[in-house]
Amino acid sequence: MLQETLEHGRRLTDAALERLIPAETQHPVSIHKAMRHSVFAGGKRLRPVLCMEAGRMIAGSLPAGIEELGAALEMLHTYSLIHDDLPALDNDDLRRGRPTCHKAFGEAIAILAGDALQTQAYEALARLRCPAESRVRIIEEIARGTGTVEGMIGGQVVDLEAERSKPTAEMLEYIHRSKTAALITASLVSGGLYAGATDDEVRKLRAFGQSVGLAFQIVDDILDVTQTSEQLGKTAGKDTAAQKATYPALFGLEESERQADSLVKSALEQLQGFGERANTLKELARYLVERKK
Amino acid sequence: MLQETLEHGRRLTDAALERLIPAETQHPVSIHKAMRHSVFAGGKRLRPVLCMEAGRMIAGSLPAGIEELGAALEMLHTYSLIHDDLPALDNDDLRRGRPTCHKAFGEAIAILAGDALQTQAYEALARLRCPAESRVRIIEEIARGTGTVEGMIGGQVVDLEAERSKPTAEMLEYIHRSKTAALITASLVSGGLYAGATDDEVRKLRAFGQSVGLAFQIVDDILDVTQTSEQLGKTAGKDTAAQKATYPALFGLEESERQADSLVKSALEQLQGFGERANTLKELARYLVERKK
């Protein structure tokens, strides 16, 4: 059942990405090849799936066209991966088992491909098939979730700075909440807004996203320690090697697992009021902490 | 009179940028310092001024809050400069007489500061004080103008590729139209949309922008050859040194000047129907080709 949800969401998202990103034959071809290289690298499309299921929960069925919102979220996630992988940042050669964008296309094109995916995402958001009032709220929500104050870029900056110092628990929580949980939260909230969620429903989706998003990143830290590169499809033990700030490094494995479980429990409580309609989002939340890669 | 328009527009834009970009004391401070370093480096704010004057022409007076749109355009322009200056692209150490962003803050922070200015621009656009319907049209217009197909990033890509080949006149026109004229056009059109322009008015602003924008870049090419670094406030002769595709290199100085003049003439014709209300935009168009830096 959950596998079907994930698979269906992935297919809808991929079809929307296919429509929204210019073809490889479109001039200038190098940038479109680079964008597609990174976007179609076999991701799980978790953020789009969370977005679509939030929309389905609010509306009672999948709102028409919501996959374009999912695709925009995936473009933003991919832009951040391309830039994170650059030599000046994490300096990664492999991503999902393929050469990273700058390895395949050179640094200049990789920088521009990341830029372009961000641009293309906002163009797609401006054209969503929901009222203009909802579109501007969605754009604001997503820009904040990927911004510098409590969003993705802010988390990335503190993560970089933490490599040169011994991070405190507070700093680590800021990094994880901003770098990962903020875009996951924006995915859920924007899916709700697309479906016409009330302010109270938005508040619940936000609280759910903040807890699930942080749990997701703690589990990512744990998997980096406990799984092999083969199991992950990316270099394992990388965080330790880079002396990255992680939950297992700071709290130990057992306490990290306890915290992830406790966050998911409190996330599930946020969805009580939605009754059975919340079942899929609840299943997704449990999947995010039980996954093995 | 024109100097007053420029000065007033610059001041309004700077005040809006001051409000919209998080303070240097806002955590994480390094990214906000880097954003401000590049944004407040003494630019002429030409795109905001063109945007505001287009809005004034359409509405009859300066529409309230339009400077926030101008500020968003300037953030997008600045993000492109920060990324263009990176070692993997133009590798510039100086910009407007100051160290470039990566020279002052390191490459990682410069990449993220560029990213963040783009993000912050869209957040500002989503919150503009005009109807949501206008805001989404403005966002779409600007995303296209800065995108890969006929926008800023596309021009940048072909510009990079042209360094390794002998560019044709067609290629050079594509570069200049996309890299420079597209954002200038989007500035004028979005200013018009903010002020409630009709489709016909938008069409005229677009045609005006395309001609003026191309003329502006041709003049930039000419100044690079004819002025000293001191006069320009940036390294002169850089295009020649980098074997960049330029109009003077391809057509000679005299023919380049003739083309710029002719483009401005045809731009001015687009504004005939607006009568005296178009005087300031016309003056601005003439200024753009007559400027000495």
Secondary structure of chain A in HEC code, one letter for each residue: CHHHHHHHHHHHHHHHHHHHCCCCCCCCHHHHHHHHHHHCCCCCCHHHHHHHHHHHHHHCCCCCCHHHHHHHHHHHHHHHHHHHHCCCCCCCCEECCEECHHHHHCHHHHHHHHHHHHHHHHHHHHCCCCCHHHHHHHHHHHHHHCCCCCCHHHHHHHHHHHCCCCCCHHHHHHHHHHHHHHHHHHHHHHHHHHCCCCHHHHHHHHHHHHHHHHHHHHHHHHHHHHCCHHHHCCCCCHHHHCCCCCHHHHHCHHHHHHHHHHHHHHHHHHCHHHHHHHHHHHHHHHHHHHCCC
Q: Which residue has the higher pLDDT, B233 or B98?
A: B98
Give the CATH number of the domain where residue A156 resides.
1.10.600.10
Structure tokens at B121: 């621009």
Q: Which residue of B has its CA nearest to A107?
A: B88
A112 touching B, CB under 8 A?
Answer: yes
A70 touching B, CB under 8 A?
Answer: no
Contact predicate B114/A115, CB 8 Å: yes
Q: Which amino acid is at A27?
A: H
Query: Is residue A123 exposed (0-12), middle (13-18) or buried (19+ Cβ within 10 Å)?
Result: buried
Distance, CA of B109 to CA of B34 (rounded, Å)? 7
Q: What distance lies between CA B136 and its chain's CA centroid?
A: 20
Instruction: Name the band, by pLDDT with cuts 50, 70 and 90, for residue B292.
Output: confident
CB atoms within 10 A of CB B65: 14
pLDDT higher than 80, residue B243? no
Return the pLDDT at A84.
97
Return the pLDDT at B93.
94
Q: What is the dihedral of CA B24, B28, B33, B36, to 10 degrees?
A: -80
pLDDT higher than 90, residue A239? no
B126 touching A, CB under 8 A?
Answer: yes
CA B157 to chain A, closest CA, distance in angstroms equals 7
Q: Which residue of A has its CA nearest to B107?
A: A88
CA A155 to chain B, closest CA, distance in angstroms equals 9
Distance, CA of A119 to CA of B119 (rounded, Å)? 9
Residue in A116, A120, A136 closest to B135 by CB:
A136
Q: Which residues of A touch B133 (CB under 8 A)?
A: 132
Residues 181-210 of B with CB under 8 A from A: none
Judged by DSSP in three states, B99 sits in strand
Q: What is the pLDDT of residues A23-57, one digit of tens each?
A: 999 999 999 999 999 999 989 999 999 999 999 99
Non-local (6+) Cβ contacts of A3 within 8 A are none
CA A86 to chain B, closest CA, distance in angstroms equals 9
B29-38 mean pLDDT: 98
Residue in A118, A122, A133 closest to B132 by CB:
A133
A207-235 mean pLDDT: 88
Instruction: Name the band, by pLDDT with cuts 50, 70 and 90, for residue B53.
Output: very high
Return the pLDDT at B103.
98
Return the pLDDT at A238.
74
Q: Do the chains contact at B83 and A147, CB–CB below 8 Å?
A: no
Q: Do the chains contact at A148 and B31, CB–CB below 8 Å?
A: yes
Map tokens 């962003």 to a residue: B101
Return the pLDDT at B96.
83
Q: Which residues of B touch A106 (CB under 8 A)?
A: 88
Query: Is residue B210 exposed (0-12), middle (13-18) or buried (19+ Cβ within 10 Å)?
Result: buried
Return the pLDDT at B21.
98
Distance, CA of A257 to CA of A263 (rounded, Å)? 10
A115 touching B, CB under 8 A?
Answer: yes
Question: Which of A24, A30, A157 has the most B C-beta neighbours within 10 Å, making it the best mutation to test the interface with B?
Answer: A157
Instruction: Name the band, by pLDDT with cuts 50, 70 and 90, for residue B228.
Output: confident
Residues 213-242 of A with CB under 8 A from B: none
Return the pLDDT at B233.
65
Structurally, chain A folds into a number of domains equal to 1
Q: Which amino acid is at A168?
A: T
pLDDT higher than 90, residue B136? yes
Which residue, among A19, A5, A20, has the nearest Cα to A54 in the 3D structure? Answer: A5
Return the pLDDT at A233.
65
Please report, rounded to a whole number, the percentage of residues in chain B having pLDDT higher than 90.
86
Residue in B88, B131, B143 closest to A119 by CB:
B143
Domain housing A225: 2-290
Residue in A116, A118, A160 closest to B108 by CB:
A160
Map tokens 């407040």 to a residue: B40
Q: Which residue of A has its CA nearest to B76?
A: A119
Taking one residue from A and the other from B, the number of pairs with CB-CB distance under 8 angstroms is 151
A125 touching B, CB under 8 A?
Answer: yes
Task: State chain A's mean pLDDT as an integer.
Answer: 95
Count of positions (residues) in chain B = 293
Residue in B131, B139, B156 closest to A112 by CB:
B156
CA A157 to chain B, closest CA, distance in angstroms equals 7
Q: CA-based diameter of chain A, in Å? A: 52
Helix (H) or strand (E) holding B98: strand B98-99
B135-147 mean pLDDT: 98
Q: Do the chains contact at A126 and B115, CB–CB below 8 Å?
A: no
B83 touching A, CB under 8 A?
Answer: yes
Residue B246 backbone class (left: φ over 0; alpha: ψ -120 to 50; beta: rest): beta
Task: State chain B's mean pLDDT as an integer.
Answer: 95
B26 touching A, CB under 8 A?
Answer: yes
CB atoms within 10 A of CB A236: 19
Residue in A140, A151, A161 closest to B126 by CB:
A140
Q: What is the pLDDT of residues B60-81, one digit of tens each?
A: 999 999 999 999 999 999 999 9
Which residue, among A20, A141, A130, has the nearest Cα to A66 in the 3D structure? Answer: A130
Return the pLDDT at A82.
98
B226-238 mean pLDDT: 73
Q: Which residues of B touch A114 (CB under 8 A)?
A: 115
Map tokens 């302010």 to a residue: A199
